[in-house]
Amino acid sequence: MKNEKINSMDVNVIRCENNPLILPEMVKPSCEDFVVKGVFNCGAAKYKEEYILLCRVAEAVRTDSDDVVKFPIVVEEEGKNCFKTITLVKSENPQLCFDDSRTITRGNDANTNVVYLTTLSHLRIARSKDGIHFTIDDKPTIMPNGDNECWGMEDPRITLIDGTYYINYTAISPNGAETALITTRDFESYTRQGCIFLPENKDIAIFPEKINGKYYAFNRPVPKAIGTPDIWLSESEDLLHWGKHRHFYGVADTQWENGRIGGGAPPFKTDKGWVKIYHAADRNNRYCLGAFLLDLEHPDKILAKSERPLLEPEAAYEKEGFFGQVVFTCGCLYENNKLIIYYGASDDTICRADIAMEDLYLHLGVL
């Protein structure tokens, strides 16, 4: 199969007229004194003719004062996980910085440490027959568990392999951001498989089948002293133990991907190659989506990539919100010769955009 190059052009991305599909007010809080700050960054799958979104739900604790920040963490008491509320008064903590809506930090720009997150995230299922109108469960599907998830679980990605759905997600704690794995066959019962990538490594996207006898996954380590947050590629025999790590693609000089770059949604197979939707942010934390086309037998070989954003914050709900100027995907579905992208907008809602594959190939500059 030969890919013929043509001139790149803008892709015809069709945002769903029902966007945002899922909003915080549609989600029932886990506790009476909690408030849902965001529902976003969902993994996506099809199961028994249903569209399944495994959503990240971020919650804080209600407060009536702008000077007070309250948020839950998970602690173990008498062998059980339970919530503990942390309360911080801004005016009484001048050593802390509350400027970022997502984090509370200590330190200067050169050496900033996150001391807390402002929300605790869990995973919750939303279901739909048509992929547009979703009903979200009243209760959490998967709650944070143990010391390494005491600050929450975030950004799930779902890969179907031989009848098993592999759910990788970011487990957050004072120990760092690691990637853990959960498996299910029916979205009713779940088995925890433990940590598969050490801190700080996230944005893992697993290929849905073996290539030349090996499983592959994209991941994004975050170096602190030397290097930038780039995409790496790793191999595995069993989806649990990963090695042969190598650099895949790094932060570029182009304005829209000069800050950080990450794995996005799991790749999917086409007759032209593996299509991989990824995210990139500039130095101002404006997040966009791009696409790679990869060789079917050599997933580290890039046949084509986005020169300009495939999807960027343009709609009001993408530019304004809990953390604005963000479009971020963890899950795409490839069906009927089109790509459905479910994405988080402004870190607080879930949206959908459709792209015909012929338009995506035009965007990438291939026939």
Over residues 60-74, the pLDDT tens digits come to: 999 999 999 999 999
SS3 label, residue 257: helix
* Res 5 pLDDT > 50: no
What are the pLDDT digits (tens) for 285-303?
999 999 999 999 999 999 9
Residue 2 has pLDDT above 80, yes or no: no
Question: pTM for the full model?
Answer: 0.94
6/206 Cα distance (integer angstroms): 30
Four-residue CA torsion sign, 221, 225, 227, 228: positive
Count of alpha carbons within 13 Å of 13, Cβ hemisphere only? Answer: 21
Q: In residues, how long is the chain?
A: 367
pLDDT of 79 reads: 85
Half-sphere exposure of 304 (CA within 13 A, CB side): 23
Query: In which element (H, E) is residue 329 found?
Result: strand 327-335
Structure-token pair, residue 142? 């998967």
User: What's the pLDDT tens digit per position in 94-140?
Assistant: 999 999 999 999 976 545 789 999 999 999 999 999 999 999 999 99
Give residue 6's pLDDT: 36
Verify cis geometry, omega within 30 degrees of 0, for the bond prior to 20.
Answer: yes
The helix/strand/coil state of 128 is strand
pLDDT at residue 1, as a whole number: 36
Residue 253's pLDDT is what?
Answer: 87
Q: How far apart are CA 325 and CA 313, in angstroms?
A: 5
Whole-angstrom distance, CA of residue 154 vs CA of residue 55:
9
Q: Is the pLDDT of residue 8 over 50?
A: no
Domains of the chain: 14-364 (2.115.10.20)
φ, ψ dihedrals at 276, nearest 5°:
-130, 115
Which ranges in the chain belong to alpha helices (H)?
316-319, 357-364
Question: What does residue 92 show for φ and ψ, rounded to 5 degrees?
Answer: -95, 0
Rounded to whole angstroms, the Cα distance separating 23 from 28 reads: 11
CB atoms within 10 A of CB 131: 19
Tokens for 132, please give them.
């547009």
Bridge partner residues of 164 (DSSP): 161
Q: Using alpha carbons, select from 342, 310, 346 the residue that is nearest to residue 327.
A: 346
For the chain, percent of residues with pLDDT exceeding 90: 91
Say if residue 7's pLDDT is above 80.
no
- Yes or no: say if 57 and 349 are a contact pair by the CB < 8 Å rule: no
Contact predicate 261/220, CB 8 Å: yes
d(CA 277, CA 240): 23
Number of neighbouring beta carbons within 10 Å of residue 187:
18
Query: Radius of gyration over alpha carbons of the chain, in Å?
Result: 20
The predicted model gives 313-323 an average pLDDT of 97
Q: How confident is the model at residue 318 (pLDDT cuts 50, 70, 90)?
A: very high
CA angle 308, 309, 314 (to 5 degrees): 130
The pLDDT value given to residue 109: 58
Q: What is the pLDDT of residues 325-348, one digit of tens each?
A: 999 999 999 999 999 999 999 999
Element (DSSP H or E) covering residue 364: helix 357-364
Write the CA distances from 11 to 79, 290, 340, integer angstroms: 53, 11, 14
Question: Mean pLDDT for the chain?
Answer: 95
β-strand pairing of 80-89 with 96-97? unpaired
Structure tokens at 353: 């955009």
Residues 254-260 have a mean pLDDT of 93
Cα gap 114→177, rounded to integer Å: 11
Give the separation between CA 27 and CA 271, rounded to whole angstroms: 39
In the structure, what pLDDT confidence band is assigned to residue 146 with cuts at 50, 70 and 90? Answer: confident
The predicted pLDDT at position 256 comes to: 96
- The model's confidence at residue 359, banded by pLDDT at 50, 70 and 90, is very high
